[in-house]
């Protein structure tokens, strides 16, 4: 496992990568602190910038934003009782009461240190398991990849917030969008409506920016309160958290491992793992009754878990090319567009790139613990920025970034159209992440499915004759049955 790190070291340790890690953490923390934005938004807004950089600095920046953004959400949860991101929803159970007791500095310090240490634990698991999983995946052939893509699509749809049916419909929309472009087997055009702009499908970045950034903008504008400035206690830099966190060392390790494990399951995501590890920490705590009233352990458990999830979600993303959540789906898309195909080949032929990405992840968490503590007073100021300033900035970044991708006005129309679609879907309570997963996994599923049928002498039996693909499909079938039962039953009762 250390070979990877050694090979990646010369790639990662360049001034550009390290600087971008630092900037990425700051940017991620800021965007995580701001309610309504979050790591995904950060990645989305920086995606266009990433394509003007070399692969490793670009990935270092995006990963740092991912890590910083996941940690930053807790700060507004603690200070304002508004989680900056859904990931931090469980943090306010104990973080906010702690702040009410006048210990907001401790709460923030603990959440930052727990996030960072949780991320480091996950990083070690990531470095250890990804190559192993990738090695196993070397036995994968088209039937296995098709089955894996199907399973990934199903899980993300099922586990995403809202109903499983809506999740699946959203995933289906993503699959439909993925069919636009050139058929890779016959070179025939599909749904391109005679325009050259669609021959390689709508630009993924334009779709992502529209779907997430623009639709969020519409929702925020609708919400009003453009000039509100929340009241926040004065914050100072304090290193006391380094001492406090030592008392919670086992909690950190346990929660981080839980988070990593859940994160590695495609679709499970940080919010789920934060709640699960909170529940576990509460059950194991000596003073369980303090949980919910401002227990340090509660903050530590949720934060270690949700940053652990980030590392966990990178495991299937890098080793199989199957993203763990929406943010990693976009990271995966970025890696594709930068010219690298995540999967076993990444470890075999581009071990240095894989190692560089691991180092970027580890370094992000180290930078997080330092900057997260030092910049605490700054976050108080950021929280006071009114929407009237923030929203135009998001619009400006989205538009400039998308246009700069390939100087195409068509991409701006795509962004706008998907902004509208995203807004309508949000209003109707449809999850958006499955759309992106569908768009990314669609071609993987289609190409491998068709290829498997060409390879087969026996029609679709090839999927069942091969033990690995049969197993994966069996899991998918069980999940489908489970969803059907849980969705149909309540309806019968009512």
Residue 307: which of 384, 235, 372 has the closest Cα?
372
Encoded tokens for 111: 């959440």
Residue 253 CB neighbours (<10 A):
15
Please name the residue that has the structure tokens 């576990």: 280
Nearer to other proteins, 179 or 182 (CB): 182
Q: Give the sign of the dihedral formed by CA 244, CA 296, CA 69, CA 154.
A: positive
We find the least distance from the C-beta atom of residue 195 to other proteins, in angstroms, to be 10
Which residues does 435 contact at the CB level (< 8 Å), separation at least 6? 170, 171, 173, 174, 177, 211, 425
Closer of 298 and 344 to other proteins (Cβ): 344
Q: What are phi and psi of 408, to 5 degrees?
A: -115, 125
Residues of this chain that interact with other proteins (CB under 8 A) are: 138-139, 141-142, 181-182, 184-187, 189, 196, 199-200, 339, 341, 344-345, 349, 406, 447, 451, 454-455
Closest CB to other proteins among 230 and 460?
460
Nearer to other proteins, 341 or 389 (CB): 341
Nearest by Cα to 334 from 50, 42, 126, 53: 50
For 492, half-sphere exposure in the C-beta direction (CA atoms, 13 angstrom radius) is 6
Work out how close the CB of 477 gets to other proteins at its nearest, in angstroms, rounded to a whole number. 24
Of the pair 142, 380, the CB lying nearest other proteins is at: 142
Nearer to other proteins, 78 or 444 (CB): 444
* Residue 310 near residue 70, CB atoms below 8 Å: yes
**Separation CA 330–CA 211 (nearest Å):** 12
Q: What gap in Å lies between CA 461 and CA 470, rounded to an integer?
A: 10
Which positions ≥6 away from 124 have C-beta within 8 Å? none
Shortest separation between residue 52's beta carbon and other proteins, angstroms = 11
Minimal distance, residue 337 CB to other proteins, in Å: 9
Q: Closer to other proteins at the Cβ: 424 or 455?
A: 455
Cα distance between residue 56 and residue 346, in whole Å: 13
Backbone angles phi, psi at 339, to 5 degrees: 105, 10
Between residues 284 and 454, which has the closer beta carbon with respect to other proteins? 454
CB of 143 to other proteins, least distance (A): 9
Least Cβ distance, residue 199 to other proteins (angstroms): 4
Q: Is the dihedral of CA 374, 375, 381, 383 positive or negative?
A: negative
Give the nearer residue to other proteins in terms of CB position, either 162 or 181: 181
Q: What angle do CA 266, 268, 271 make, to 5 degrees?
A: 145
Please, which residue, 196 or 428, has the CB nearer to other proteins? 196
- Check if the beta carbon of residue 419 is closer than 8 Å to that of residue 214: yes
Q: Under DSSP, is residue 488 helix (H, G, I), strand (E, B) or coil?
A: helix
In whole angstroms, how far apart are CA 225 and each of 24, 78, 214, 385, 453?
29, 21, 18, 12, 56
């Amino acid at each position: 496992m250390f070979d990877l790190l050694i090979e990646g070291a010369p790639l990662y340790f360049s001034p550009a990568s390290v600087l971008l890690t630092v900037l990425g953490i700051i940017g991620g923390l800021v965007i995580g602190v701001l309610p309504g934005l979050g790591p995904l938004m950060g990645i989305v807004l920086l995606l266009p910038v990433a394509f003007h950089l070399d692969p490793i600095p670009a990935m270092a920046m995006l990963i740092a934003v991912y890590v910083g953004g996941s940690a930053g959400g807790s700060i507004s949860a603690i200070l304002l009782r508004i989680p900056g991101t859904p990931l931090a929803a469980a943090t306010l159970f104990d973080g906010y009461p702690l702040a009410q007791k006048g210990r907001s500095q401790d709460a923030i310090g603990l959440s930052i240190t727990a996030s960072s240490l949780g991320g480091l634990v996950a990083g070690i698991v990531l470095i250890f398991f990804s190559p192993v999983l990738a090695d196993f995946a070397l036995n994968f052939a088209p039937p296995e990849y098709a089955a894996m893509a199907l399973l990934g699509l199903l899980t993300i749809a099922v586990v995403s917030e809202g109903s499983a049916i809506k999740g699946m419909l959203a995933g289906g929309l993503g699959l439909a969008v993925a069919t636009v472009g050139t058929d890779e087997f016959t070179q025939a055009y599909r749904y391109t409506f005679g325009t050259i702009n669609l021959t390689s499908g709508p630009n993924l970045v334009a779709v992502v920016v529209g779907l997430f950034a623009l639709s969020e903008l519409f929702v925020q504008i609708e919400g009003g309160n453009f000039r509100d400035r929340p009241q926040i206690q004065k914050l100072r830099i304090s290193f006391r958290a380094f001492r406090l966190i030592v008392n919670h060392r086992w909690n950190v390790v346990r929660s981080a491992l839980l988070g990593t494990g859940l994160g590695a399951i495609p679709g499970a995501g940080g919010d789920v793992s934060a709640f699960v590890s909170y529940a576990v920490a509460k059950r194991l705590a000596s003073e369980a009754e303090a949980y919910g009233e401002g227990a340090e352990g509660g903050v530590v458990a949720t934060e270690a878990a949700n940053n652990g999830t980030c590392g966990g979600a990178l495991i299937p993303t890098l080793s199989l090319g199957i993203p763990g959540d929406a943010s990693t789906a976009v990271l995966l898309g970025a890696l594709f567009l930068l010219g690298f195909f995540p999967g076993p080949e990444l470890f075999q032929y581009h071990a240095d790139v894989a190692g560089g990405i691991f180092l970027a992840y580890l370094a992000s968490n180290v930078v997080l613990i330092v900057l997260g503590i030092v910049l605490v007073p700054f976050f108080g100021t950021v929280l006071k920025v009114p929407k009237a300033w923030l929203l135009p900035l998001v619009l400006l970044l989205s538009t400039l970034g998308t246009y700069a991708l390939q100087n195409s006005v068509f991409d701006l129309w795509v962004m706008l159209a998907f902004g509208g679609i995203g807004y309508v879907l949000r209003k109707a309570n449809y999850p958006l992440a499955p759309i992106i997963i569908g768009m990314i996994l669609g071609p993987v599923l289609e190409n491998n499915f068709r290829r498997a049928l060409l390879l087969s002498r026996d029609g679709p039996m090839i999927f069942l004759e091969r033990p690995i693909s049969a197993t994966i499909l069996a899991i998918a079938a069980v999940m489908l049955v489970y969803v059907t039962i849980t969705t149909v039953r309540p309806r019968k009762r009512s």
